[in-house]
A and B are shown apart, each in its own frame.
Chain A
Amino acid sequence: MPTSKHYWLSLLFISLLFTSRGGPLTDEWKITGKVVDKKGTPLSGATVNVKGRKNSVITRADGTYDLSVPPSRGILVFSHVGFITQEKAFNGPGVYDITLREDQKALDEVVVVGYGTEKKRDVTGAIVSIKSAAINERQPVNAFDAMQGLTPGVQITSGSGAPGESSTIRIRGTATIDGGVNPLYIVDGAPMEDIDGINPADIASIEILKDAASAAIYGSRSANGVVLITTKRGVEGKPRFDLRYYTSMKQLAHKLPQANARERRMHLATGVSDRDSLNPAFSNDNDYQDLLTRIARRNQADLAVSGASKGLNYYASLGYLEDQGIIINSYSKLVRSRVNIDYKPNDKLAFGNRMQFSYQTGNFIDEGNVLLQGMLRPATLQVFLPDGSFAGMVQARQNPVAWAELNVNRNDDYKLDIYDYLSYQLAAGLKFTTDVTINIEYLKNFKFTPRSLSNVGDNTGADRRDFNTYLQWQGYLNYNRTFAKDHTVTGVLGISADKDSRSYIQISGSNFLTEAIGTFNAAQLLNQNSTLTSASRNTLASAFGRLGYSYKGKYIINTNMRLDGSSRFGKDNRWAFFPSVSGAWHISDEPFMRWTKGNLDDAKIRVSYGLTGNERIGDYDAIQRYSFGSYYYNSISGVVPNAVFGNNKLSWETTADLDLGIDLSFLNGRVRFVADWYDKTTTDLLYNAPLPGESGYSSVRVNVGSIGNRGFEFGIDASLVRKKSFSWDVNYNMSFNNNRVRKLYNGTALTPTSGTTTWLVGEGAPLGQFYGWKALGVYQYNESNAYTKDWEQLTPVFNAQGVFDHYTYKGQIYTDVVQKLTSSGTVLQGGDVIWQNNHKDNVIDDADRTVIGNAQPLYTAGLTNFISYKDFGLSFTFYTSWGGQLFDYARYYINSYKAQTLTPQPDVIYTRWKKPGDISGYPRYGNLAYNQREISSIYIEDATYIRLRNVRLSYKLPAALASRARIQGISAYIYGANLLTWTNYRWYDPEIDPGAPLTMGKDSGRYPRYKEVGLGLNINF
């Protein structure tokens, strides 16, 4: 038997399949009846058919139907949208009436949990489930797009607008500072490193296990949450073909202000000299954003075939996605194929596999050398030579268009994931399953920079091939029995072993004798430092279990546990135990809640507590090592102690998580509310604690310190209108997370850096604190740099001739000692930035740094609407991230006057300090490091945004019309993404990949996100 869910689905599909009426035959039984709802109201449009047969009828306006069937006993199936499908046996002609119950779908939904499934009603942890219907409402490129904005507590950001770009997902904040930050992905029971290769059209459901109690069964890898993906299976009946096609156009969401030739010359007029304005190399007026971006196309086609018959269930799909980037010469092409087969020769034995293959190829654009370079290159400089070829470097500035077109950074990524299982029903309620997972990835990266782009007149290339394999074996028992009607016991017990091996070969060289050949027999010089092969491996062994008890479905208690051993840790600290316990109470089932009946369908209170772990660190961090390969001296390859001290005491990072939740369902499931409060504390933080450099080491991986995440999240689903021809459903969710570092190794605050951007990670403060100098303005006059003994700023007063006369302080004439601030050995003057003097001495230096912003948002929220009217459907999602800042590095860099060939943005050209008396937010012109500090608060920007993330308007051809064309269903839609954004952020997009926990929120001018509008067609037959 297929599971109840699939059974239900199959019935629905069968009923939809055969809406045409068969011709009457004489030797038939005539069956009639009436379909009504609970209140006795007749239901029109309900489908009635005989199980296993083709013909079906639709009930009339008064709810009645009549049906002729061959004269043999059978089962009638009654179905209607919004109601639970019911069956009724018949053994002869006659009247068969039925009352259909409204579908409180959500409560009867099946939710996938670790190593099994549970009814949504019985779930005790914080689990969210997204079904394929919701996924189809978007036009997702990958599984992340499918989840984004739909679930509380889950923050998903795509890294950038680059084609083929993956996304990051953070579940309930960041619970680690240096360990792995991604959740564990389990696809059809098999762990996966990433889920980019999964075609979202193949996904039947996504479950996100947010609290420790749900995730603990995955033990050491579950501290960042677990994402379970279940792919589609066939449904009983004739093979079903699904064909989807989507095409769209994408465009830069908005252009940034950039200085044109006139503004560039204006900039030159104040302090910068330029050469030869008659020279064609300097007399252009380029709009680099126009030159570098384009209207890009995306084409996506998917074909899926599925079906099931007599113990064989299959689903196969093939998808092709061609995605151009909005920056010229960037693209990604992706082929994804999947075969799911389940074979069930008898009631006890089942065997099946999931096989997925994907191939992706694409060219990546180096944003720094293309877009950022384009934004700062003077508009006057030449891009094309008169003959149409690319101009080379002009005034030491790269040609960004040439760079985009000629520089190669191509990936070819092949992935094969195979999962096979065998299960056997040992006894009633007891099932044994064993499975094997094999994931193989071959990734080829080729980089080539031709001679024409090089400032040293040489071409360089690198070729890297990664070969990664992952093997896992699992064996487990599932138990599920109900005793004496009221007592249900469920259990899981199993063991598993994993082996993850990675290796790569890399070759790098220069001076290719011809640029037509990219293999390294053409390279005349090999770079010994980066020509190497390397390998690493880690293993995991585990035992896991679950025990659940439910009394009448009213009181439910579950315990999950896992014992994990990892090769990554010190010999004596290899094993760790991750227990959890959770309980749920259907308070609405209690007699004292009877008064709520009719309004409140269900109220469930959940409490859970558990431990989860994080083991994602370097494979050999616990072993003191010697390295070699890049430590040559005089042609001898030196052997040196690894810069990271091997800590043989290394052990697990553990997250303890308390979760309190409530699930409410009102008005026959028309309003559903879920809220959770959680308190997660991660202890034994795994991070690279800096060691004093005098030890000869840079850092040591340690297991100390603690970080906390406390948060509240809720989601509301409401069916505002639920009429036959009009319905309107709304989903709103909102998440607050408060993150605090509680303890660090020796209490030493960390100042992690990315480039020269610095963060401050200290006890009692959240992650993501930008550490830099606070700008208070720009000195109006040289004399404005004047302070009292206590470093309060004085106001200079000038006489009628404009000559300085005296100072005032708080309106009073000041005659006491006047102090002046200096920086880099010079007294600050008019036009220099007024820096906050935190150290209270006369020097502005690194001791004056302070926290000037935080990258973490206050809250995030998503609002999704699904509206359907007759055959039309409209859905749209708003998403907001509120609070939080970003360091706008790109703007900082462009406006820092670092070189005279660099052009600031127009507002800097117009408003910067130019002469004594100017009041400005930007300092005087000049490459003065003390005016352009990194990070300066001038470039810390509010990253709040509200975005209309996607809109989809669809039309479904009425079934009657479609069936004439022998098509079961056909729908067309218009789709739009990122159409509107409200933000004060000044670079392209405030939604960026948050980055590593220690260095969050630096926008170094990423590949901009785009607006997209497309058309799609879905057909199934």
Chain B
Amino acid sequence: MTRKILRIVAPFIFIAACQKHLDQQPLSDLSTDLFWKSPDDARLGIAGMYDGLQKTLSSNYIDWCEPRSDDFKAGGNGEAQVNLSLNALDANQAEASWDNLYVTISKANFAIKYIPRISGLAGQLRDHFLAQAYAMRGYCYFYAVRVWGGVPLWLTPYEDLTKNVALPRTPAEEVLNTVVADLKKADSLVDTTVTSPVFEINAGGILAMLTEVYMWKKEYQNALDASGRLLAFNRYSLAAAADWKKLFIDPAGTKENIWSLNWVYTQDGANGMAIRYGCSDLTSYYYIEPDLVTRFRSNPGDIRRRLTYDTALETSAVGKIGKFYPLGTNGKPAYPSSKLSDVNYPLYRLADILLLRAEAYNKLGGAANTTAAVDLLNQIRTRAGIMPVTEDMFPTQDDLELAILNERQLELFGEGKRWFDLIRTDRAIPTMDTVLKARQQERGFAETGFGDPGRILFPISRTALNENKNLVQNPPYSD
């Protein structure tokens, strides 16, 4: 009898033993069901999200912005750099890829979904994490809108293969509304008492983002309100002229920095800035546009001139930008090697916000506002050690805006602002048309100028188009 039972049971025992033998859990990774459990997981997940932004902005902080503007011209003959500086973008170039941006968005979506489910995570701490995730998502979509216009809108993490993954593009306007909503949500959740580290998004950072978004949307009063609340914290002030360099090499050491992106090469590897701006071992990708050098030189006393680049290079092409590196004992920038540079990318600092406020005041018009605008402009100029301006120097609103933008160009040179400023103020095509013609002539290309206005946007990358058939290319790029 027992033998009979054994005979029946044995195969099941065998199969059960097999099942156990075949159950193998990852040894060096976590399976999904083991993460987002403890309060510390929230901290680690959020760090992973910031890591996503590092990978996104490592090179795109620069490539999505200033090489397309009158800040830089291509230094060498790299295809991507030449394309960027000639406004001849191609759907195949790496800069057209938004993948890293969406990886960051996905991480924010995971955090937004799972942080509330972590038991034992106290209310305020939890909300502060969530605020960072919402703000990060908003920030990423803000970049996306500025680079491509409308983009697919993902507000939940992708977790089920049976769900549609090929979302079409959501119109830019709608994406921007989501950005505002995310930032407002972040603003409502953030713990306003948290001020450090400067490398994480805090209440000030969220308001700074809101300010810039409102400026993009041309909602000037809203921009003033948001930035006004930022100023009301009374924790930010312009760094002294002597500390201007610290904004880039020691962001935690000033009261001006609002949010900087941390970089430690032993942890994060080589960043994309050194090879683009200047390093000890390689030729930089970009040179400063000669006209801009001329403007820097027109005010020899401007502290930003010698802190931005090595003035000894002015006589020929300024092929190295030392702004983000400390000065050596010889007074020249100490360029790091391309692989070993720690650059903390400034994302928002008070000077940026003050100049945005100046623009907003100017746009709102009226004597009081104009005075306020000029006053703000002069705060920056005075700090830089150059002559203040007076209202009567600007007969029209447009003149003042141009002056503010020019000041922004000098103050925020290399900080990923100029190209977007030009678009925001509808100056991209008129400004760049002449610049591009000069560049085209220099390279022996037909002088076609800016070309199709659709070229303000980037093309959707070829890979993205292949992978998602519901995407439509930005005209006039070939689909």
A residues adjacent to B (C-beta < 8 A): 455-458, 495, 497, 499, 503, 525-529, 533-541, 565-567, 574, 619-620, 623-628, 631-643, 645-647, 649, 690-698, 700, 748-749, 751, 822, 824-827, 839, 841, 843, 845-847, 898, 927-929
Contact B165 A825 (CB under 8 A): no
Chain B residues near A637 (CB-CB < 8 A): 44, 47
**Residue B211 interfacial (CB < 8 Å):** no
- Given A497-B21, A695-B165, A825-B83: A690 and B32 interface contact (C-beta under 8 Å): no
Neighbouring B residues of A538 by C-beta, 8 Å = 24
Provide the bound-state CA to CA distance between A547 and B114, in Å.
Answer: 55
Task: Give the docked Cα–Cα distance between A635 and B266 (Å).
Answer: 10
B90 near A845 (CB under 8 angstroms)?
Answer: yes
A82 → B minimal CB distance (Å) = 52
Whether B282 is near chain A, meaning CB under 8 Å from some CB there, is yes
Contact A700 B29 (CB under 8 A): no
**A525, A529, A690: the one within 8 Å of B269 (CB):** A529
CA of A700 to CA of B65, assembled, Å = 32
Q: Which residues of A lie under 8 Å from residue B448 when comparing CB positions?
A: 825
Q: Which of B105-113, B372-380, B383-391, B405-413 lies on the face that meets chain A?
A: B105-113
Residues of B within 8 A of A847 (CB): 91, 478-479
Residues of chain B in range 332-347 having any CB-CB distance to chain A below 8 Å: 337-340
Chain A contacts of B278 at CB under 8 A? Answer: none
Contacts of A625 in B (CB 8 A): 26, 29-32
Q: B27 to A537, Cβ gap below 8 A?
A: yes
CB-CB nearest in chain A for B336: A456
**CA of A24 to CA of B188 in the docked complex: distance in angstroms?**
115
Interface positions, chain B 14-62, Cβ under 8 Å from A, are: 14, 18-19, 21-32, 34-35, 41, 43-52, 54
Cβ-defined contact, B47 with A624, below 8 A: no
Chain A residues whose CB sits within 8 angstroms of the CB of B464 once the complex forms: 692-694
- Is residue B63 within 8 Å, beta carbon to beta carbon, of the partner chain? no
CB distance from A184 to the nearest CB of B (A): 19
Could you tell me if A845 and B478 are in contact, using CB atoms closer than 8 angstroms?
A: yes
Nearest CB on B from A338, distance (A): 31
Is B454 part of the contact surface with A, judged by Cβ < 8 Å? no
Q: Which residues of A contact B479 (CB under 8 A)?
A: 847
Q: Considering the chains assembled together, what is the distance between the CA atoms of A629 and B50 in angstroms?
A: 14
> From residue 283 to 320 of chain B, which have CB atoms closer than 8 A to chain A?
none
Given A457-B337, A695-B165, verify A525-B266 contact (CB < 8 Å).
yes
Which residues of chain A have C-beta atoms less than 8 A from B43's C-beta?
636
- Say yes or no: B463 contacts A526, CB within 8 Å: no
Knowing A525-B266, A620-B26, A620-B29, the reply to whether A696 touches B106 (Cβ < 8 A) is: yes
Do B103 and A696 touch (CB < 8 A)?
yes
Interface centre among A634, A646, A698, A898 (most CB of B within 10 A): A634
CA distance A525 to B339 in the complex (A): 13
Distance (Å) between the CB of B397 and the closest chain A CB?
Answer: 34
Distance in Å: Cβ of A833 to nearest Cβ of chain B = 14
Chain A CB within 8 A of B443 CB: yes
Q: A528-B267, A635-B267, A690-B463 are in contact. Are A624 and B31 (CB under 8 A)?
A: yes
- Which chain A residues border B77 with CB–CB below 8 Å? 898, 927-929
B116: Cβ under 8 A from any A Cβ = no
Q: Are A626 and B29 in contact (CB under 8 A)?
A: yes
Identify the stretch in B151-159, B230-238, B361-369, B422-430 within 8 Å (CB) of chain A at 4 or more residues.
Answer: B151-159
- Structural contact, B463 and A693, CB atoms closer than 8 A: yes
- Knowing that A538-B24, A927-B77 touch, tell me 6 more A-B residue pairs with CB under 8 angstroms: A528-B266, A626-B31, A634-B50, A634-B197, A639-B47, A692-B464
B-chain residues with CB within 8 Å of residue A619 when the two chains form the complex: 24, 26
Residues of B within 8 A of A640 (CB): 45, 48-49, 51-52, 103, 107
**Bound complex: CA A805 to CA B58 (Å):** 53
Which residues of B sit under 8 angstroms from A928, Cβ to Cβ? 77
B467/A826 in contact, CB under 8 A: no
Q: Is the CB of A638 within 8 A of B478?
A: no
Q: Do A929 and B462 touch (CB < 8 A)?
A: no
Residue interface mask B139-159, A partner, CB < 8 A = 1: 000000000000110100111
A106 to chain B, nearest CB (A): 42
Listed A/B pairs (11) with beta-carbon separation below 8 Å = A529-B267, A534-B27, A628-B48, A633-B268, A635-B267, A638-B46, A640-B103, A645-B161, A696-B158, A748-B467, A847-B91
Write the nearest CB–CB distance from A646 to chain B, whole angstroms. Answer: 7
Min Cβ gap A546→B in Å is: 20
Q: Which of these, A627, A643, A845, A927, contacts B91 with CB under 8 Å?
A: A845
With both beta carbons as reference points, the residue of chain B lying nearest to A455 in the complex is identified as B281
**B17: nearest chain-A partner, CB-CB:** A541
Choose, from B1-9, B92-100, B178-186, the stretch at the interface.
B92-100
Nearest-CB distance from B198 to chain A (Å)?
10
Question: Are B154's CB and A696's CB within 8 A?
Answer: yes
List chain A residues, Cβ under 8 A from B47.
631-634, 636-639
A634 touches B165 (CB 8 A): no
Whether, in the assembled complex, B227 has its beta carbon less than 8 Å from a beta carbon of chain A, the answer is: no
10 residue pairs, one from A and one from B, having the closest CB atoms = A696-B106, A825-B88, A638-B48, A456-B337, A929-B79, A693-B99, A638-B47, A826-B445, A632-B267, A927-B77
Interface centre among B29, B167, B200, B445 (most CB of A within 10 A): B29
Q: Which residues of chain A have C-beta atoms less than 8 A from B32's C-beta?
A: 623-626, 646
Are the C-beta atoms of A825 and B18 separated by less than 8 Å? no
Q: Are B161 and A700 in contact (CB under 8 A)?
A: yes
Complex CA gap A640/B88 in Å reads 35
B466 within 8 A of A: yes
CB pair B45 A643 closer than 8 Å: no
A541 to B16, CA, bound (A): 11
Interface 1/0s, chain B 443-479, versus A by CB < 8 A? 1111010010000000000111011110000000011
A525-B266, A634-B197, A824-B88 known; A541+B99 contact, CB < 8 A: no
Bound-state Cα–Cα, A567 to B27, Å:
13
Chain B minimum-CB-distance residue to A566 = B22
Tell which of A456, A646, A846 touches B280, judged by Cβ atoms closer than 8 Å.
Answer: A456
Bound-state Cα–Cα, A692 to B200, Å = 29
| Complex: chain B residue closest to A625, CB-CB | B29
B82 on interface, CB distance cutoff 8 Å: yes
Question: Could you say which residues of chain B place their CB within 8 Å of the CB of A825?
Answer: 83, 86-88, 440, 445, 448, 451
Docked pose: A822 CA to B464 CA in angstroms: 24
Most buried by A among B22, B77, B445: B22
Minimal beta-carbon separation of A746 from chain B (angstroms):
8
Nearest residue, chain A, Cβ from B50: A633
Of A499, A626, A691, A845, which is in contact with the most chain B CB atoms at under 10 Å from its CB? A626
Is A647 in contact with B30, judged by CB distance below 8 angstroms? no
Q: Is residue B134 contacting chain A, with contact meaning CB distance below 8 A?
A: no
A826 B88 Cβ-Cβ under 8 A: yes
CB of B370 within 8 Å of the partner chain: no
B271 within 8 A of A: no
**Once the chains bind, are B281 and A824 in contact (CB under 8 Å)?**
no
| A536, A633, A640 pick with most chain B CB within 10 angstroms | A633
B266→A534 contact, CB < 8 A: no
Contacts of B443 on A, CB cut-off 8 Å? 826
How far, in whole Å, are A625 and B99 apart by their CA atoms in the complex?
A: 19
State the CA gap A690–B467 with chains docked (Å). 7
Residue from B31, B102, B445 within 8 A of A827 (CB atoms): B445
Q: How far is the CB of A564 from chain B (nearest CB, A)?
A: 10
Contact (A694, B264) CB under 8 Å given A631-B48, A825-B86: no
B262 within 8 A of A: yes
Which A residues lie within 8 Å of B151 (CB)? 694
Docked CA distance A535–B76 (Å): 44
A567-B22, A634-B200, A751-B466 given as contacts; is B152 within 8 A of A694 (CB)?
A: yes
Asked if residues A824 and B79 are in contact (CB atoms below 8 Å), the reply is yes
In the bound complex, CA of A444 to CA of B50 (Å) = 35
**A638 engages B82 (CB within 8 Å):** no
Q: Which residue of B lies closest to A824 (CB)?
A: B88
Contact, CB under 8 Å: B18 / A541: yes
Which B residues lie within 8 Å of A693 (CB)?
97-99, 102-103, 463-464, 467
Q: Which of B22, B44, B48, B88 contacts A574 (CB 8 A)?
A: B22
Q: Smallest CB-CB separation from B14: which chain A residue? A: A495
